[in-house]
Amino acid sequence: MTEDRQATTTVEAKGPGRWLVRTSRSAEGEAAEGTVLLRSDRPPGSPPAHLRLAGARAWLALGQRFQSRSRWQEAIASARAGLAEIGSDYAGPDVDDETDLKLLAAEDRLAQGHASDAAAVMLRVLGDRLSLYASLHHQDVVE
């Protein structure tokens, strides 16, 4: 997959103590936007806090778009990019996390020729990890 690295990021005030971080990710001529609404007394720095969440959300949106068009390989590549961007520090200590094994199962499905299943599982794991990340950082992340 060809990745466009000309991503732009903006920060917009959204009322007292609220900041909307908006970024985009693109690949194969397609682009998608991801946002995160932050709670802070001061403007976010540069790069803004939790940009990884906005970026990974953009990858999720892009992957889901590819998935809806049955472009499984592009959907898988987008899911992998989102998983890489959100990283491994996304869950609190009370969460028993088996998503690594779900990704292993997805890789097995891909190797067996079931790319649509692999894409679906990877995107679902990405979505779950993004939810966990937002929950872990709920003091900063409004939505």
Partner 1 sequence: MSAGGPPWTLPPISPPSWLTTPAGSGASGDAKPDSGTFAVPAELKAGLKDAWDASFPHGKSQEHGGILVRKADGTLEWRAGNAGTSGTFQINYGDLKSGETLVASAHTHPYDASEGGHRDVPFSGGDLANMVTGAESQKFVQSGDSVFRAAKTEEFEKLVKASNPDTLKTEMKATFNTALGGATGSFQDRVEAGVKAVCEKYHLEYFKGTGDSLTRVDTSK
Shortest distance in whole angstroms from residue 3 CB to partner 1: 26
- Between 20 and 83, CB nearer to partner 1: 83
Show Cβ contacts of residue 118 under 8 Å, excluding neighbours closer than 6 positions: 72, 76, 106, 107, 109, 110
- Between 132 and 142, CB nearer to partner 1: 132
Stretch that binds partner 1, among 18-26, 54-62, 78-86, 107-115 (CB under 8 A): 107-115
Task: Say how far apart CA 40 and CA 49 lie, in whole Å.
Answer: 10
Task: Say how far apart CA 52 and CA 106 lie, in whole Å.
Answer: 23
111 binds partner 1 (CB under 8 A): no
- Between 6 and 68, CB nearer to partner 1: 68
94 binds partner 1 (CB under 8 A): yes
134 binds partner 1 (CB under 8 A): no
User: What is the CA 66 to chain-centroid distance, rounded?
Assistant: 14
Residues, the chain, total? 143
70 binds partner 1 (CB under 8 A): no
DSSP state at residue 116: H
- Between 41 and 94, CB nearer to partner 1: 94
Task: Say how far apart CA 125 and CA 102 lie, in whole Å.
Answer: 7
80 binds partner 1 (CB under 8 A): no
**How many angstroms separate the Cα of 122 from the Cα of each of 10, 42, 62, 63, 82?**
28, 36, 13, 10, 10
108 binds partner 1 (CB under 8 A): yes
Question: Which residues contribute to the site for partner 1 (CB under 8 A)?
Answer: 91-102, 104-106, 108-109, 114, 117, 120-121, 124-125, 128, 131-132
